[in-house]
Amino acid sequence: MKKIAVGIDLGGTKIATCAMDEAGNLLEKTELPTLAKEGPEKVIERMKRSVYEVLKRLDLSLSDIAGIGIGVPGPMDAKRGRVKNPPNLPGWKDIPLLSIMEEEFNIPVFMENDANAAAIAENLFGAGKGVKNFIYITISTGIGGGAITNGRLFKGGDGNAAEVGHMTINFEGPVCGCGNSGCWEAYASGTALTRFAREGILSGRKTRITDLAGQDEVRAEHVFAAAKEGDEFARELVEKEGFYLGVGLANVVNAYNPERIAIGGGLTHAWDMFYSTMVEVMKTRALPANVEHLEVMKAKLGTDVGTIGAASLVFHKE
């Protein structure tokens, strides 16, 4: 019988839990709302319940499972198996999630920052398959990342390595959610893109973005749709987005010298609109020797990367 792992992707809005085999096939999947406001105890109860639910649906018991992997929002304390204080999980402070889950299930439990788990998943089953030096980057409301070096996860001392979204690209730049100023995330995330759009609209720029958004808040998809229609302001925004992405990628390239970078997250829906600018800017700014053998591509696992990543922790060789 093939080995089976359970993966739990703990997010601010939902808990997604799967069972997966060693080849990366999803056997079962369930989603529960996190209801983060209810605090850690109730959330952890739902996480436990989701594991039993997945097992029940597959008619498996805990002894059939090689282990449980958990992807958690950072920051974490890997050495002590604790979730520190993720901004999207109110009330969590230094929660010993690893030992709580080990006690409950009495099988091996693994825990990593969600972007690191996703990097492992793409490295084992997706766009980074077989690549020994690999970086996964997710660009959505924020920018996160995970690094694989010589085939292993690059954790750092506390499990918080490769926080690439919080690398400064302009120390005089806009304030970031993390408190720092000029982080890559503050320039190139979906949140930053819509902020730039709103600022332009408020300063009087005429743009189709306003019509497309209608009564809603401006979203990244409105910007990309308007740019596709030829809207000048939206095109400027998308061009800048490509530029900022390229600046940050050059930092990633100089910092990690990866052989491949895979980019996932919501913004990749508009891949063709920023890809060429992004790569051109990256190549202009990074050290030539570090881009010579580099490939940049779209991630492959889509929205399941969270749960697949969590389950992958069980199969990743330390």
Q: By the criterion CB under 8 A, which residues form the site for a copy of itself?
A: 74-77, 84, 132-133, 149-150, 152, 154-164, 166-172, 178-182, 247, 250-251, 254-259, 284-290, 292-294
Q: Is the peptide bond before 174 cis (omega within 30 degrees of 0)?
A: no
Looking at the Cβ atoms of 84 and 222, the one nearer to a copy of itself is 84
Smallest gap from residue 138 Cβ to a copy of itself (A): 16
**CA atoms in the 13 A half-sphere facing the CB of 7:** 36
Dist CA 24 CA 125 (whole Å) = 6
- Cβ atoms of 59 and 70 within 8 Å: the answer is no
Three-class DSSP category at 19: strand
Q: How many CB atoms lie under 10 A from the CB of residue 60?
A: 16
DSSP 257: -
Looking at the Cβ atoms of 125 and 187, the one nearer to a copy of itself is 187
Looking at the Cβ atoms of 140 and 257, the one nearer to a copy of itself is 257
Looking at the Cβ atoms of 163 and 231, the one nearer to a copy of itself is 163
Looking at the Cβ atoms of 217 and 318, the one nearer to a copy of itself is 318
Smallest gap from residue 153 Cβ to a copy of itself (A): 9
- Cβ atoms of 249 and 286 within 8 Å: the answer is yes
Smallest gap from residue 79 Cβ to a copy of itself (A): 8
CA distances from 7 to 3, 21, 50, 93, 266 (A): 13, 11, 10, 22, 22
Tell me which residue has tokens 């958004």. Answer: 213
Smallest gap from residue 268 Cβ to a copy of itself (A): 22
- Cβ atoms of 83 and 44 within 8 Å: the answer is no
Q: How many CB atoms lie under 10 A from the CB of residue 260?
A: 22
Smallest gap from residue 66 Cβ to a copy of itself (A): 23
Smallest gap from residue 224 Cβ to a copy of itself (A): 23
Looking at the Cβ atoms of 27 and 178, the one nearer to a copy of itself is 178
